[in-house]
Structure 1
Amino acid sequence: MTPVEQSAQTDLIARLEAEERELVLTRFDHDDAWHLGQLLVGLARERRAPVTIDIRRGNHQLFHYALPGTSADNDAWIERKSNVVARFGNSSYLVGVKARMTGRTLQDRGMDPLHHADHGGSFPITIAGTGAVGAVTVSGLPQADDHALVVEALRRFAAR
């Protein structure tokens, strides 16, 4: 990795970590999952984004919706990305960027790539004073775009 590439990766990691510090909620229940899910569906429809959206609290799936243009493959990606959030408590994008920067894959860390994917699109649902309690995940776009859609929706949700 060139010094310029390393600097860009370091800056990206700092931005991703700042997003996680920023997007901490005071609460998150079943109704909140519904509202956040509806917000994500609306954003995806506006952009004609072929994505599947999933929201979980722990292992409990609270919201799941697939827009036209998606397939069961998106469901599999959601499962794998949300497993990374459950394991590390960080966004799947942050975990992946750090892994690529160090050259240490999830498989090197003992995780099966059939069950874990450190690609962008899954973000921890974090409650102040409690920590990460779940994940909101999008699959269907390039990983940076999946991640950005989730972050935009969480920002709007937190601001309401």
Structure 2
Amino acid sequence: MSDFLQALLAQEEELQFESFTNEDAYELGCIIVKHARDVLGKGIAVHIENDEYPLFTHYMTGTSKDNMYWVNTKKNVVNRYGHSSLYVGEMYKAQGTTFKEGSGLSLDEYQGEGGSFPIIVRGRGKAGTVTVSGLTGEEDHQVAVDGLRTYLTR
């Protein structure tokens, strides 16, 4: 396994909650939006849900309905594989193929691009997703990771 894939898995091990509530989703979403506005100076879409329903959604100025497609398709990858959408896309690249060819999944519903990250509750497993759209896949992933890290270390 490549160093990059190992680093992505290490992020999933590091960025875990003791519990995850609706209020956690709201606070995490606000942290990510504030970071995009104040640090990046860019508009992004942020969507957070538990494994049952949406808890936080905000589309900043500069986003469009196209971001809904990316949010949904990246989130679907995390829900199917249990790992970040960036990890899944890179996993297929490491196997010498593409997400489209290797997964056989419809690109209308799944995209192995960075930006969606599993919300993991320690000892319980995946409890939801946080998804960012509006930048490159790697940047979307990093914004989600930075938001989670900020929230969990406050």
Which bin holds the TM-score, normalised by the shorter protein? over 0.9
Q: Distance in 2 between matches of 1:106 and 1:135?
A: 22
2:143 corresponds to which of 142, 145, 149: 149
SS of the equivalent of 1:39 reads helix
Q: Tell me the TM-score normalised to structure 2 length.
A: 0.94
Q: Distance in 2 between matches of 1:49 and 1:89?
A: 28
- Aligned pair 1:88/2:116, yes or no? no
Q: Distance in 1 between matches of 2:52 and 2:106?
A: 18
Work out whether residues 93 and 119 of structure 1, in 8 Å CA contact, stay in contact via their aligned partners in 2.
yes
Q: Distance in 2 between matches of 1:110 and 1:62?
A: 30
Report the CA distance between 1:58 and its aligned residue.
1.0
CA 1:54–1:150 in structure 2 vs 1: closer, same or farther (change >3 Å)? Answer: same
> How many residues get paired?
152
1:116 corresponds to which of 103, 110, 118: 110
Percent identity of paired positions between Structure 1 and Structure 2: 36
Q: Which residue type is aligned with residue 157 of structure 1? A: Y
> Which structure's CA Rg is the greater one?
1
Provide the aligned C-alpha RMSD in A.
Answer: 1.3
Q: Tell me the TM-score normalised to structure 1 length.
A: 0.91
**Residues 31-51 of structure 1: per-residue CA shift (max 9 Å, x gap):** 000000010110011121221
Taking the TM superposition and a 5 Å limit, the aligned residue runs for 1:1-160 are 10-46=2-38, 47-102=40-95, 103-160=97-154
Q: Distance in 1 between matches of 2:86 and 2:102?
A: 17
Q: Which runs of 4+ in 1 moved over 3 A?
A: none
Report the CA distance between 1:104 and its aligned residue.
4.9
Gaps of 5+ in 2: none
